[in-house]
């Protein structure tokens, strides 16, 4: 029986100069991206009339493309303008996920494994995706690790990295947790399987230092800047699982849900904390223009 390929929410995709509804067939069985994973993407959010840091997400997808060996065929400004054009196709009530993508269609001459950058294709997909209720999540330390730059394409936001995250989340859920706390190959905390992570101890906010084993996110950087401007000490440093187990608060940041508190890490329970709430408030105040910060 054929699988239903229709999207699960209202979706519009810009490709080859036109907007198409639903889930258009874009990649074939001989496409390089289909069997050799030459794909990169980014994700921004639109909600309540705003799209925080949309420009930065559009810039990053082009950097990811270059790092993958692809050739960006749109400027970041062109992608941003297309995103606002696509947003107008929705009813303006439900939050939207904004996903620019590049992929390779052919392999290079002499080595099919290497993507031919001249065959780069572009699409911009927008679909309805509620932000969620920001309920605290539970975490467990994953048996799986984040790869190092020597072992995987960690300098790009590429689809090829996500099966590892997927299996970490599936394993965590099999043990009754919402998400996985992932370490790098040296055993230091990197992030969760789907978001950057922060801890608070004695009023000091700490987050794993960007060491190229995880995507140091745009929302992560935004929250760091906002907290510092609000007077918090924020340290980017090497952190262990033991550091997180002894924290007063833990929270995560990411484009999909912004700021989310952690209620449990393995056998340790955490209460919703004041710094987590402040981080969320600062972000939303900035996003809606209620803050003078532009850090």
For every residue of 13-25, DSSP letters joined together read: EEETTEEEES---
DSSP summary character for residue 147: P
Say if pTM beats, i.e. exceeds, 0.85.
yes
Q: What is the pLDDT of residue 295?
A: 44
Span between the terminal Cα atoms of the chain, in Å? 52
Q: Rounded distance, CA 46 to CA 39, Å? A: 23
Q: What is the pLDDT of residue 291?
A: 59
Cβ atoms of 22 and 11 within 8 Å: the answer is yes
What CATH topology corresponds to 11-128? D-amino Acid Aminotransferase; Chain A, domain 1 (3.30.470)
Q: Rounded distance, CA 295 to CA 288, Å? A: 15
CATH 3.30.470.10 positions along the chain are 11-128
On whether the 138-288 domain is CATH 3.40.50.300, my answer is no
Q: What is the pLDDT of residue 292?
A: 54
Q: Rounded distance, CA 261 to CA 284, Å? A: 15
Q: Rounded distance, CA 97 to CA 48, Å? A: 13
Q: Please classify residue 65 by burial: count the beta carbons closer than 10 Å to its beta carbon, then call 0-12 exposed, 13-18 middle and 19+ buried.
A: buried
Tell me which residue of 97, 99, 98, 94 sits closest to 48, measured CA to CA. 94
Consecutive sets of 10 residues in the chain, 295 residues long: mean pLDDT of each? 94 98 97 97 97 98 98 98 98 97 96 97 97 87 97 97 98 98 98 98 98 97 98 98 98 94 97 95 95 51
Tell me which residue of 293, 264, 263, 265 sits closest to 281, measured CA to CA. 293
Q: What is the pLDDT of residue 256?
A: 86
Q: What is the pLDDT of residue 26?
A: 97
Give the residue carrying structure tokens 């550091």. Answer: 243
Tell me which residue of 88, 91, 124, 95 sits closest to 14, measured CA to CA. 124
Q: Rounded distance, CA 200 to CA 291, Å? A: 23
Q: Which tokens sit at 257?
A: 């849900």
HSE (CB half, 13 Å, CA atoms) of 204?
Answer: 9
DSSP summary character for residue 192: E
Q: What is the pLDDT of residue 123?
A: 98
CATH 3.20.10.10 positions along the chain are 138-288
Q: Rounded distance, CA 99 to CA 13, Å? A: 9
């Amino acid at each position: 029986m054929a699988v239903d390929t229709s999207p699960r929410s209202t979706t519009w995709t810009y490709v080859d100069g036109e907007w198409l509804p639903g889930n258009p067939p874009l990649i074939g069985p001989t496409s390089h991206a289909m069997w050799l994973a030459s794909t990169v993407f980014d994700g921004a959010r639109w909600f309540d009339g705003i799209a925080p840091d949309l420009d930065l997400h559009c810039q990053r997808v082009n950097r990811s493309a270059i790092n993958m060996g692809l050739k960006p065929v749109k400027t970041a400004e062109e992608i941003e303008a297309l995103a606002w054009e696509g947003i107008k196709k929705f009813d303006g009530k439900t939050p939207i996920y904004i996903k620019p993508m590049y992929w390779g269609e052919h392999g290079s001459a002499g080595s099919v494994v290497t993507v031919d950058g001249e065959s780069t294709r572009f699409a911009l997909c927008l679909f309805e995706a509620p932000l969620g209720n920001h309920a605290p999540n539970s975490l467990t330390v994953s048996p799986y690790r984040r790869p190092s730059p020597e072992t995987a394409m960690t300098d790009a936001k590429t689809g090829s990295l996500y099966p590892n995250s997927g299996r970490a989340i599936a394993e965590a859920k099999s043990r009754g947790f919402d998400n996985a706390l992932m370490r790098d190959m040296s055993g230091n905390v990197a992030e969760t399987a789907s978001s950057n992570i922060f801890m608070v101890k004695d009023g000091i906010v700490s987050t794993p230092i960007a060491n190229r084993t995880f995507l140091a996110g745009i929302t992560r950087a935004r929250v760091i800047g906002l907290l510092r401007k609000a007077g918090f000490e924020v340290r980017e440093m090497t952190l262990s699982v033991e550091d997180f187990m002894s924290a007063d608060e833990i929270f995560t940041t990411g484009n999909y849900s912004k700021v989310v508190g952690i209620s449990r890490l393995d056998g340790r329970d955490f209460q919703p904390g004041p710094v987590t709430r402040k981080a969320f408030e600062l972000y939303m105040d900035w996003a809606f223009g209620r803050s003078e910060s532009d850090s």
